[in-house]
Amino acid sequence: MKNIILIVGLIYLLSACANPGISSSPVDVTPTPTTPITDTPTATVTPTIIPTVTPMAIPTTTPFPIGSHARQHLEFLSVNIGGREASSIEEAVAANYIYSIFLSLGYEPRVQPFSSVIEGDDQEVTINSKNVIAVKQGISAREIIVGAHYDSVIAGTGADDNASGVAVLLEVAARVMDKETPYTIRFIAFGSEEVEKIGSWHYASQMTEDEIANTIVMINLDSVIAGDYAYVYGDEGSDGVIRDWSLAWAAENGFNLITQPGENEDYPAGTIGDWGDHVAFRSVGIPYTYFESTNWMLGDKNGFTQVDKTLGNDGKIIHTQYDDLAYIDATFPGRVNERLRLYISVLYAILTEFTDS
């Protein structure tokens, strides 16, 4: 199945090269960039092509068991497609899958292509990728951004990092589509996070001052199925209100969601470091909420040791050969489905119930 998908994608790419009239969908951002952000990778936007792919038949009506659609998305991205290295055909096929799912749910998805030159081991490398965006209008025009990156590293098949986050995002997008939500929701699947977080930096750099001021929070979903505990992080002080709201809601509804305890002095309790797609948004003044599964009590107590050190690669799943759905399912029976259900439930509650008034 994976070979068929990639062959179809390659044929489409080759035909597109022969037909310069083919172009990507319109971008969902202002064409005039704001003042450049410090340390933002330089990106020159060029037309890109999304290869064709036929997604699995997933019912678009609700109700359906919580996590059932997410599980199918997780399997398609990490098993059918497999590893999705930045700028690869596999990453492009994943982008088209996400676009197709948004379309099937009734959204009007857009793509935001970007290109960036980075330093490789021996020479400069050009990264061509795209962000896939879908918007759910709410009662208020004020926005909540929900993001997850869909690329992965070469090692493993990127089930945890980060097909899992995309899977949660897509199921929640299905669940809120026909619901009245307090705020407008902007779902963004970011490309090329594993290469200097280019996709999220590019998106944030294109936001106008009005768009930034109109955004309540950026919610990031990254690596949510493998680690020992389910966490939510956020800014310190009042900007961490959604983190605190999520913890209270989860406790009231029987979900085991915690925040990191602050035993490492480099990371104040409840917060996270400068990794992940939230960083670009925080740099322009947008508060963040971050969902992740790991274990802050192990190793250097910095969140990178996810499980017991006898498992995975010295306790690490992401960025290793152990980031594979079959391994995670076999090693942690029931964990994947439980985590999908937890994060979908909490995120859905935020998007349908939380207000800052």
What is this structure's pTM?
0.85
Is residue 64 very low, low, confident or very high in pLDDT (cuts 50, 70, 90)?
confident
User: What tens digit of pLDDT does each residue of 238-266 get?
Assistant: 999 999 999 999 999 999 999 999 999 99
pLDDT at 337: 98
Contacts 24+ apart (CB under 8 A), 331-334: 332/226, 332/307
Measured in degrees and rounded to the nearest 5, phi and psi for residue 217 equal: -165, 155
DSSP labels for 109-162? -EEEEEEEEEE-SSSEEEEEEEEEEEEE--SEEEEEEEEEE--B-SSS--IIII
CA triple 159-160-166, angle to 5 deg:
80
Alpha carbon 163 to its chain centroid, in Å, reads 8
Q: Where does 241-329 show beta strands of DSSP type E? A: 257-258, 288-294
Mean pLDDT of the chain: 86
First to last CA, the chain: 49
Query: What is the rounded distance in angstroms from the CA atom of residue 193 to the CA atom of residue 176?
Result: 26
Match 């202002």 to its residue by tokens.
Answer: 30
pLDDT at 25: 38
